[in-house]
Structure 1
């Protein structure tokens, strides 16, 4: 089910032969995409113990523009997933005006052929966490945009929570086993723990080592939207390979509210970014995280931003699809800021934030307000 899980995209979709193509981001890199199944043979599935935990990830990897020999159009979402998401959107929007079928017509423009002999380069790793119950495929355009600035981005599904996961062998696992009820914390904490273990396993599979083993290969960032923001903080608390996190407009749950972030010898930073009106003065959990931070980890980097004209629904790929489908008349769902502008802002700020947190550069745009991005408000 698609509940309270919206994110961002920021491009202009162009109609080509009946399809809609997300234009390439204008970052310095082109991007390749692969989808992979990972199986944790050592762990029974936390929602169905009859089989080991199976995961699907999408990997978005930068390629220097001169090294990309060919670009191709790639289907945004397979038919079976698109049909399920059409039904979810009809139920979520509580309207029959959703243009059924558009999801299966969307395409990404990606690098599909790298020049022979191109030396493979290693890029900093960013994890991208989805909203509660939401397929990773609704974050593909966002991942491509972030990757175009020079980061390898991994987007994750979490079967039985994620609304629908299709595996290469044709198996489909439906989700919705975690109710979208902020007052029912037990299932939410269970889901956070499942996401934590999924993420740690994925990092193991990627070969990311702990700082004690290899300090140069231990710094990973985690961008999470909605429930994915809570998952980012929960993962940082328990897996110190993740040293920098972002919560895009999500509620906060779990032990991190009382423990905070930061470990001796392993600095951790965190960025809270809310839609207009969602901040630590209105959200008691965000305020609690700040109180814990100020009491126990005042030396760790933490800031809070907001974006004028945005809503929860401003922060996922759907904001562009809504423009194309003529649904922007409802600003309470999609906000007043266009998808292209939201993408431009977030791409710039994420580039500078992770440049600081993962590679030791200065704060850049995070140092304070910038007239070029007047929509961005520094809250704390």
Structure 2
């Protein structure tokens, strides 16, 4: 969620076409073998597990489909004693099928990528570790699935965190529920009011997820179908130390959640403008009294910093807690997601147009940017949730030359 972003999410995923049953399929007679990809392995010492939860909020009607209660799909990523199963798929089957039938990211033609074959580095439903860990919630950008935060999630877990990634149903697309049901976007025409409703809904979603995690620590199974949970999962959650990181609209959401809910102690906004139309989000006017980090991009436009973006400037001036503003001038908006790693891997086989690649992930070195993103996110939560020294937060690092300190 930022002004002048390139390209719009609707063009990125082309999901309404697929969801309506009018998807274009690759010609099987002319298609070559679909391209595969792997996401970067986490660099920490710990093994990673993952499990999905279906959460239903019976007290809240869905703002986009009022006939239904609000329901969410989340993934819990957690430390494991040792992997007891093979790696979980990167995408659920229904989501992979929709992407396969769509012009994914606005540049990848239908049938050209083996979405279903991609794997994470996390064991599916493996027994959890024995130690309680700080919890970090992750939320994606407007219309973007939670899967694009997988590299951040796995990295944090490998370094001793539990991470919960969230989809926001009918805005995020596509979302697969138990039984294979796949829900697509169901949004009204774009307007400032729609943006404000989306952020307000995301804030309520996040607070509901925190409630369900608290119930889990008390011995309840929050999954709507009551599916078995990994052994020991509840004991891994230390909800006295909670952080929230989000990309684009998810970053604005992080700040807004912190404004209204003190259960979240620290947050990161990755390249999300804190306004809707010509109005600032409430948190941009009030600021925060707890740690927060801004991370902006710049390719093709002026850098997004508290000195150049008025909504960030207002937030910065009004915030009294620990704060940092970082910028990657050769990065673009989706450099803060898995697209930074996946697109270059696919480019070797699909010959993606240079202009489209630059619009999505800039001209920054892909491997170095992914490494820097994971390093700074981890350092921030080590500092704010664990009280550990994090020298790279204090001054520019020669190991991360693409990251500029604004303040």
TM-score band by shorter chain is 0.7 to 0.9
Are residue 46 (structure 1) and residue 63 (structure 2) matched?
yes
Following TM superposition, by how much is the alpha carbon of 1:25 offset from its aligned partner in structure 2, in angstroms? 1.4
Are residue 37 (structure 1) and residue 51 (structure 2) matched?
no
| Residues 319-377 of structure 1: CA deviation (Å, up to 9, x unaligned) | 22211221373323222233322221122212221111112223431111122222211
Q: 1:242 aligns with which of 244, 255, 264?
A: 264
| Residues 247-295 of structure 1: CA deviation (Å, up to 9, x unaligned) | 1111113110111112xxxxx11100101322223212111212223xx
Unaligned runs of 5+ in 1: 7-16, 210-215, 263-267
Q: 2:245 aligns with which of 205, 209, 223?
A: 223
User: In structure 2, what is the equivalent of residue 175 of structure 1?
Assistant: 185
Are residue 108 (structure 1) and residue 120 (structure 2) matched?
yes
Aligned-residue Cα RMSD (Å) equals 2.8
| Residues 124-178 of structure 1: CA deviation (Å, up to 9, x unaligned) | 0001110001111222233112221211111001111112211103332211516
Greater relative contact order structure (CA < 8 Å, 6+ sep): 1
1:332–1:235 Cα change, 3 Å:
same
User: In structure 2, what is the equivalent of residue 324 of structure 1?
Assistant: 345
Are residue 280 (structure 1) and residue 306 (structure 2) matched?
yes
Are residue 260 (structure 1) and residue 248 (structure 2) matched?
no
Q: 1:334 aligns with which of 348, 361, 364?
A: 361
1:40–1:114 Cα change, 3 Å:
closer
Are residue 56 (structure 1) and residue 73 (structure 2) matched?
yes
User: In structure 2, what is the equivalent of residue 12 of structure 1?
Assistant: none
Are residue 357 (structure 1) and residue 384 (structure 2) matched?
yes
More displaced 10-residue stretch of structure 1: 119-128 or 320-329: 320-329
Unaligned runs of 5+ in 2: 1-7, 14-33, 217-237, 276-280
SS at 2:376 equivalent: helix
User: In structure 2, what is the equivalent of residue 11 of structure 1?
Assistant: none
Between Structure 1 and Structure 2, how many residues are aligned? 345
Kindly report which structure 2 residues correspond to 1:1-380, keeping only aligned pairs within 5 A, or say none: 2-3=9-10, 19-22=36-39, 24-63=41-80, 67-70=81-84, 72-86=86-100, 89-90=103-104, 93=106, 95=107, 100-112=112-124, 120-177=130-187, 184-207=191-214, 217-253=239-275, 254-262=281-289, 268-276=290-298, 277-293=303-319, 297=320, 300-326=321-347, 327=352, 329=354, 330-380=357-407
Counterpart CA distance in 2 for 1:130 and 1:5 is 14
Counterpart CA distance in 1 for 2:74 and 2:376 is 25
Counterpart CA distance in 1 for 2:143 and 2:176 is 14
The answer on whether the counterparts of 1:69 and 1:113 sit within 8 Å (CA) in structure 2 is no
1:188–1:150 Cα change, 3 Å:
same
1:377–1:148 Cα change, 3 Å:
same
Counterpart CA distance in 1 for 2:35 and 2:113 is 11
| TM-score normalised by L of structure 2 | 0.77
The answer on whether the counterparts of 2:102 and 2:110 sit within 8 Å (CA) in structure 1 is no
Q: Which has the higher strand share?
A: 1
Counterpart CA distance in 2 for 1:189 and 1:113 is 36
SS at 2:86 equivalent: strand
Counterpart CA distance in 1 for 2:61 and 2:180 is 20
